Structures are given as structure tokens and as C-alpha cells.
Structure 1
Amino acid sequence: MTATDPALTALAQGWCALSLLHNKIEARIERALQAEHGLSVREYSLLDVLSRQHDGEGGHLQMRQVADAVVLSQSATTRLVTRLEDRGLLSRYLCPTDRRGIYTDVSPAGLELLERARPTHDAALREALDEAARDPRLEPLVRAVESLPRQVPAASY
């Protein structure tokens, strides 16, 4: 059965289109970030999420929240954090009020890399969306993505 098989339901066809759009975007961004900055999409996403933390109530994310934000399991997120920590892009430390909690912060080198990589990420995203918009199957999804609110509230992490 293929994505164009008439036996597929409209819902399944919509899911196939959404999956195709996601894969095209992720592949374009992955190639650009790897080529320019030696970062994967997941690494970039993790640095981006952690860079948005702040001091104060609820400002630091627990590993579960980080995993949810980067759409990985907790164990995969921990491995990713370890790899980036080994590269000097992140640091971990114990929560001052709960010794069982471990916080992860982006290091100055990580922030610098993230700032250099952000324009590459954004340009690759724009290119992927522009290309996908030329496909009649994907154009409605591109319009939907472009109409989403510009700022994702931190509470959604």
C-alpha cells in the first residue's frame, strides 16, 4: 500500500503528508547544520531548549521536560547531553535545593555555537518550507505551519 493508494483514508493520507513534510524539513536542516557547524538537528534543538532556561521559579528544566521538548526518551536525552557535555557545549550541576536534581546549562562555547548556527537553521527551514509549498500535497501544511503563533510559551516545555 502506498501513500497514493485509494484505500487509504483521508486521515492516513494527511498523516503521510505531515510525515513527508517533517522528513523534508528535518533532512534539509540536518544537512545544513552538519555542513556548517558539525551539529545534528537534535543537538541544535537541545542547545536551543536549554538556552531558553532562566533563573528563578521554574526557570530550569528537569530532564523529563527537556526530553519532552526535544522529543526524545529520557535515556536518549541523557546520552545526547553527555555527548554535548563532552564537547564542552553543556555543563551539569546539582540543584542547590534538591540534591537529587541535576540541571544542565549551555556553556559559553555552546551559546556561541548556537548563535552561529541559528541563522543556518532558520535559512534551511525557510528553504525547506518554500520548496514544500510548491508541492500541492504539502502546501496546505506549509500554510498551517506558517500561521502558527511566532512564540512558543516556555511553559509548553
Structure 2
Amino acid sequence: MAVTDPSLTGLAQGWCALSLLHGKIETRVGRALEKRHGLSMREFSLLDVLSRQHSGPGGHLQMKEVAEAVVLSQSATTRLVTRLEDRGLLRRYLCDTDRRGIYTDVTEDGLTLLDASRPTHDTALRDAFDEAAENPVLAPLVRTVQELHAPAETGS
């Protein structure tokens, strides 16, 4: 019988819990977005990331940066961009300063869909976290995620 390193077992258990939390959230939010807006989670994420670009220096993301932001390979990101471009939600164009660079912007239709779907996303996300908080294995992870961007308490 092999002896298992307790720290690795704990790490593996933590990873399993994190994976479970991610899966539950992605499934719940994805179903809500698909049902109400015809968007997948990846499509919503891509529209969201691209909608935050600006026209100032460094304001537009290269495809590699977009891929990193939506956690996809560059080829999968390109296919996703193509699908959304075909739906009229995105448009691609060449960079003015580097003809090798191709940038992507969200169209007005894409922004309209993103704005309409954001409340669905946020409600489903909140519901998924609330449900996960009831699970003793997931509750510590939920608290950690909630604390990540909680406003700092001010001292008296």
C-alpha cells in the first residue's frame, strides 16, 4: 500500500472543490444566458472583455491577449470571434500602426446584447454562489471569492 502525502491530498481535494465550484457556476450561468439570450458563457465573456477596450494607448487587445483573458487557445478564440462576427456582434479591422495586427471591436448590436444579458449573467452568478455557499465543501471557496473584491473596511 502506497503512502499518500497529506499535503498533496489536501491540495488535490482543494483543487477538486475549486473545479466543482467552477463547473456549477459555469453550468448555471451558461444555461441562463443560452436560454434567455442565445449566448454561451464563452461568448458572453468575449463580448465583455472586448467591450472594455478603449481607444487610448494600449486600449485594444491583440488576439493573444484576448485569448488569455477568456482562457482559450488562440485558435479557439479566433473561431469564437468568427462566430460572433458572423452574427454581427463583432467586427475585425487592421491596426493602423502595425498592418500585421488585427483588432476586434464589439458592434452596436453586440453591445446591446451584452447590456441585455448582463443582468441575467449577474443574477445567475449570484444564485450559483448562494447555492454553493450551502455546501460545506464549497462554502470556504465562496467566501474567498466574495472577499477578493470586497471593499476594504475603513478604520474608525
Q: Does 1:91 align with 2:91?
A: yes
How far, CA to CA, are the matches of 1:10 and 1:99 in structure 2?
Answer: 50
Aligned residues between the structures? 145
Q: SS state of the match for residue 34, structure 1?
A: helix
Over 3 Å counting, the alpha-carbon distance change for 1:38 and 1:150 in structure 2 is farther
Residue in structure 2 matched with residue 3 of structure 1 by the alignment: none
Question: What's the C-alpha RMSD, in Å, of the aligned pairs?
Answer: 1.4
Q: SS state of the match for residue 105, structure 2?
A: strand
1:51-88: per-residue Cα shift (whole Å, max 9, x none)?
Answer: 00000110000000000000000000000000000000
How far, CA to CA, are the matches of 1:85 and 1:14 in structure 2?
Answer: 39
Residue in structure 2 matched with residue 116 of structure 1 by the alignment: 116
1:106-139: per-residue Cα shift (whole Å, max 9, x none)?
Answer: 0000000000000000000000000000000000
Note the residue ranges of structure 2 that are not aligned, 5 or more in a row.
Answer: 1-5, 152-156
Residue in structure 2 matched with residue 24 of structure 1 by the alignment: 24
**Amino-acid identity (%):** 74
The ranges of structure 1 where at least 4 consecutive aligned residues each deviate by more than 2 angstroms after the TM superposition are none
1:150 is displaced (CA, Å) by 5.9
How far, CA to CA, are the matches of 2:91 and 2:127 in structure 1?
Answer: 33
Q: Does 1:147 align with 2:144?
A: no
Q: SS state of the match for residue 82, structure 1?
A: helix
Give matches, 1:10-89, under 5 Å. 10-89=10-89
How far, CA to CA, are the matches of 1:122 and 1:132 in structure 2?
Answer: 15
Residue in structure 1 matched with residue 3 of structure 2 by the alignment: none
Note the residue ranges of structure 1 that are not aligned, 5 or more in a row.
Answer: 1-5, 152-157
How far, CA to CA, are the matches of 2:37 and 2:77 in structure 1?
Answer: 20
Residue in structure 2 matched with residue 134 of structure 1 by the alignment: 134
How far, CA to CA, are the matches of 2:150 and 2:94 in structure 1?
Answer: 33
How far, CA to CA, are the matches of 2:110 and 2:88 in structure 1?
Answer: 7
Over 3 Å counting, the alpha-carbon distance change for 1:45 and 1:12 in structure 2 is same
How far, CA to CA, are the matches of 2:76 and 2:113 in structure 1?
Answer: 22
1:14-33: per-residue Cα shift (whole Å, max 9, x none)?
Answer: 00000000000000001000
Larger Rg: 2
Q: Does 1:125 align with 2:125?
A: yes
How far, CA to CA, are the matches of 1:62 and 1:43 in structure 2?
Answer: 17
